[in-house]
Amino acid sequence: MNARYLSGRKILLTVSGIFALLLSVRTNAQQLPPRPISVSWNPSLGLRFGAFFATTSGGTVSVSPAGVRTATGNLILADFGYVFGAASFEIVAAPGTQINLLNGPTVTLNGSAGGSVSLTLGSSSPSSPFVTTATPPAANIVNIGGTLTVGSSVASPPGAYSGSFYLTFFQE
């Protein structure tokens, strides 16, 4: 009986040891991101190109994600108090969520005095894809630049140009 008692005690100690080992193993996993992510935009922080003059042959005006404005061709940048800057979006997602951006096609913007210009979305900051770092309710800020292709002063006369662009945020 003493041998049975010792054998049972060994089994009990072995099982207890395995159970204690299982309890002490720590596992980590990425928290699942909320579905869907929240993306918001403030119209006052839209993609803005400021004031510029088109000469006989036109050119391009670009705004980087950092808000730096440049021109090519026969366009002259002006500063009459018209603001320029990148479009800014706020993304609320769990930290560690990977986000990819997909720019839509080039779009035509129509002018208040007739004419049109073309808008092509540019790169983003942070560059796509990126991983969110802010903990909700704090937001991750994403800035998008773009380029306007402007014709001559006849094809793209002075005025306000407006329209819509498409940008898709993919959560992975």
**In the prediction, which pLDDT does 34 show?**
55
C-alpha triplet 139, 142, 146: angle, nearest 5°: 155
Q: Return d(Cα 154, Cα 140) in angstroms, integer.
A: 42
The answer on pLDDT for 9 being more than 60 is no
The one-letter code for the residue type at 142 is V
* pLDDT per residue as tens digits for the range 28-43: 666 665 567 888 888 7
**In the prediction, which pLDDT does 125 show?**
96
Higher pLDDT, 50 or 11: 50
Q: What percent of the chain has pLDDT over 70?
A: 80
Radius of gyration of the chain (CA): 29
One-letter-per-residue 3-state SS of 128-142: CCEECCCCCCCCEEE
Higher pLDDT, 147 or 19: 147
* pLDDT per residue as tens digits for the range 14-71: 544 454 444 455 656 666 655 678 888 887 788 999 999 887 789 999 999 999 999 9
DSSP state of 112: B
**In the prediction, which pLDDT does 41 show?**
84
